[in-house]
Amino acid sequence: MLFVSLFKFFFCIIIAVFMMSASVDPLVVGRVIGDVVDMFVPSVGMSVYFGSKHFTNGSDIKPSLTVNPPKVTMSGNMDHLYTLVMTDPDAPSPSEPIMREYVHWIVVDIPGGTNPNRGKEILPYMGPRPPVGIHRYILVLFQQKAPLGLVDQPPSRANFNTRFFARQLDLGLPVATVYFNAQKEPATKRR
Ligand SMILES: *[C@@H]1O[C@H](CO)[C@@H](O)[C@H](O)[C@H]1NC(C)=O
């Protein structure tokens, strides 16, 4: 009897988890919401391209293709300015992310509807170099309340905190987020 009800109990949990993951936001499934940002309502469209390839949430990408900054296009209002942060919550390894987060890129004062080249780079782009495991690389876009102008560079790329950064600059919740995955390429493919 106990065995049967335990079985039913776990069966129900499995079904519930399956249904949740099927219907829920890809950012929740990828734990981007939770690990890096809080729940938000996307209100701006953002697309990320490395070369000619368009990246959707959760796509895998080879680090060798990400040496140069991605092309990022965004919708949004020309009257507003936006801040873009690219961050890795899985550094140095997803099972022991003691450097969480490792920040790869920060650009502020990007006019809506344009791209990061039109903004002010606070921290230069650094391509993913995941040493161990599959890392998530997350591009987070915030809408600014005012021009930011001079923003201090974070003292270090390691142990960056997107939430804290946003709070310091009064950016509020994100307006768009895209993430992709990358892992170290086999040694033979490395240059
Ligand atoms: C990624 O997920 C967010 C949240 O659901 C969504 O707003 C965005 O359009 C998605 N983008 C891509 C390129 O998959």
- For the stretch 103-132, pLDDT in tens is 999 999 999 999 999 999 999 999 999 999
The pLDDT of residue 86 is: 98
Cis peptide before 185 (omega within 30 of 0): no
State in Å: Cα 59 to ligand 1 middle: 12
Identity of residue 5: S
Nearest-CA neighbor of 74 among 41, 111, 114, 43? Answer: 114
> Closest ligand 1 atom to the C-alpha of 57?
14
Sheet holding 53-55, edge to edge: 53-55, 46-50, 71-74
Q: Which CATH number fits domain 38-183: 3.40.630.30, 2.130.10.10, 3.30.1300.10, 3.90.280.10?
A: 3.90.280.10
Give the Cα separation of 61 and 104 in Å (integer).
16
Question: Token pair of 162, please?
Answer: 């997107």
Per-residue pLDDT of the chain (191 residues; tens, 9 = 90+): 666 676 677 766 666 666 555 556 888 888 888 899 999 999 999 999 999 889 999 999 999 999 999 999 999 889 999 999 999 999 999 999 999 999 999 999 999 999 999 999 999 999 999 999 999 999 999 999 999 988 999 999 999 999 999 999 999 999 999 999 999 998 765 55
> Closest ligand 1 atom to the C-alpha of 42?
7
The pLDDT of residue 115 is: 97
DSSP 4: H
> Closest ligand 1 atom to the C-alpha of 54?
13
Residue with CA nearest ligand 1 atom 5: 25
